[in-house]
Structure 1
Amino acid sequence: MTVELRHYRDVEEVRNTIVDIHVEVRQLDFKLVGDFYRAERFNDRLTNHSSAPGWEAVIAYDDGTPAGFAYATPLGPKTRWWSAMTTPLPDGYTEENGTRTLALNEIVIRRTWRGTGLAHRIHEDLLTGRTEERATLLVNPKAGDGKVQAVYERWGYGRIGDQQPFPDSPVFAAMMRSLH
């Protein structure tokens, strides 16, 4: 396995690759159904995320074949990220300025490459060199019977509460880790 990690800051260079992998993994592999998981809805979220300053994606290619991706967006002063929290957070915790918190919006690995450590490699490559103080992500605590959340815990994230960003989305565990 010869995997190359490539960074992108222009979503149009990789939009189709990201959407195709997302649909393959979420809908076909994991059988996630409903409007929230439709390709069009994901593409809309991707458009929204990638329109923010500082958006960045990393895509892994194994001998030219896309194996997985992750992308992240810094949270700006007018972010809605924290507005869907169902768990109260301490005063000041949700104040953002565009350089405090990086939101890991998606990390998706195709079946052939799962269990190889590629997800962690993509994740760490995406975070390396970032100037934000901390990184946050959302994970469905039921995914893999809790195994997915446990992976993020091994990567240094801690659960800070719960969030439901859309009426038709799952209730996610909101997690945070320091970047320095």
Structure 2
Amino acid sequence: MTVELKQVTAEQLPLVRQAILDIHVEVRHHDFGLNNAFNSRARFDERLTAYSSRPGWSAVMGYEDGRPVGFCFGVPLGVDTAWWSSMKEPLPEGFTAENGKRTVALNEIVVRKPWRGGGVAWQLHEAWLAQREEERVTLLVNPAAGNGAVQAVYEAWGYSKIGEQQPFPDSPVYASMIRPVRGQLS
């Protein structure tokens, strides 16, 4: 299944914010039953605001016949990032050194149910990465999601688990994963 993909910058976020929030609620709340405070519309909107306020934030929206079917977004890790601070075990020296150009975090990738399983998430992911200049991309995934199936998808896309972290007191403990944006990590 192929969808129309549109790149979105922080300046364009007001044009798609409502669609992102609606898709989040539909998928997280209705499809997956994640009706806790951490996954509330308001808390997700707060995180979206925080991420999109950082330099380099970008998103990709997927559409079919003008209807939004999914999105992904992320932001580069700056020198002062807290991304690695909640790791359960320390990573090797130098691994977490960031300069705003080394690592980009894929904060969210969400696809509405009728478009899942047809490669739409992969299309969103690859279109988003095609615009990135960083060396590597990192993400967090709940290892329990889909009884491990979601993490397995990321592994099939070339990501490797490097540890676990819990970035918010009320968030799950996530598997922290990484892969090259293109080619091999140096």
TM-score range, shorter chain: over 0.9
- CA deviations on 1:23-61 (whole Å, 9 max, x unpaired) are 110001100121101000000000000001110000000
Q: What residue is the counterpart of 2:52 in the other structure?
A: 50
Q: What residue is the counterpart of 2:4 in the other structure?
A: 4
Shift of 1:2: 5.8
Distance 1:75 1:113, change over 3 A: same
Shift of 1:130: 1.3
TM-score normalized with structure 1 length: 0.98
For 2:14 and 2:82, how far apart are their aligned partners in 1?
24
Identity fraction in percent: 59
For 1:153 and 1:57, how far apart are their aligned partners in 2?
22
- Calculate the aligned-residue CA RMSD, in Å: 0.9
TM-score normalized with structure 2 length: 0.95
- CA deviations on 1:54-109 (whole Å, 9 max, x unpaired) are 10000000010000000010000011111111121000111111000000000000
The 5 Å alignment of 1:30-69 reads 30-69=32-71
For this pair of structures, how many residues does the alignment match? 180
Asked if 1:156 is matched to 2:158, the reply is yes
For 1:5 and 1:177, how far apart are their aligned partners in 2?
23
Unaligned residue ranges in structure 2 (runs of 5+): none
For 1:2 and 1:116, how far apart are their aligned partners in 2?
8
Does the 8 Å CA contact 1:133/1:178 hold for their aligned counterparts? yes
Q: What residue is the counterpart of 2:20 in the other structure?
A: 18
Unaligned residue ranges in structure 1 (runs of 5+): none
Q: What residue is the counterpart of 1:71 in the other structure?
A: 73
Does the 8 Å CA contact 1:57/1:69 hold for their aligned counterparts? yes
Residue identity in the other structure for 1:174: S
For 1:168 and 1:80, how far apart are their aligned partners in 2?
17
Does the 8 Å CA contact 1:2/1:63 hold for their aligned counterparts? no
